[in-house]
Amino acid sequence: MNDNAEPLEGTPLIAPSSVSHPLYDKVVEACRTVYDPEIPVNIYDLGLIYTINVSDDNRVSIIMTLTAPGCPVAGEMPGWVVDAVEPLDGVQHVEVDLTWEPPWGMEMMSDEARLELGFM
């Protein structure tokens, strides 16, 4: 193994979330109230929420994906996320963007989701 290996460069596939913002945990919990209608697990534990960014002025930007591009609720689910997050005390605005990169895979599910679906 080479101790002088060059650090990896480039943009991460999934942008980091603003986990230190005071609203972050509340936004996560709100996302956990939204369920994929075809899978009995919330979208956060399914791994569909890629990034939660909360700005200094409490504007929330969420990047998410779906289990498949042909998902029948593709046009509706981002609105469900907005409806779940926007009422939180302190949130000024919510924007949800869909992405297909990287594509969702079962490895993105939390252990809780895997257990609930019988994969563990």
**How many Cβ atoms are within 10 Å of 26's Cβ, its own excluded?**
17
Across the chain, the runs of DSSP E, i.e. the strands, are: 49-54, 59-64, 93-98
pLDDT digits (tens, 9 = 90+) for 1-39: 445 555 556 667 788 899 999 999 999 999 999 998 888
Q: Out of 1.25.40.10, 3.30.300.130, 3.40.50.450, 3.40.50.300, which CATH number does the structure's domain 26-107 have? A: 3.30.300.130
pLDDT digits (tens, 9 = 90+) for 38-85: 888 999 999 999 999 999 999 999 999 998 888 888 889 999 999 999
pTM of structure: 0.86
- What is the token pair recorded at 16? 């980091």
3-state secondary structure of 50: strand
Look at residue 89 in the predicted model and tell me its pLDDT.
Answer: 97
Look at residue 1 in the predicted model and tell me its pLDDT.
Answer: 45
The residue extents of the domains of the chain are 26-107
- What is the token pair recorded at 56? 């200094």
The residue with tokens 């046009």 is 75
Look at residue 35 in the predicted model and tell me its pLDDT.
Answer: 93
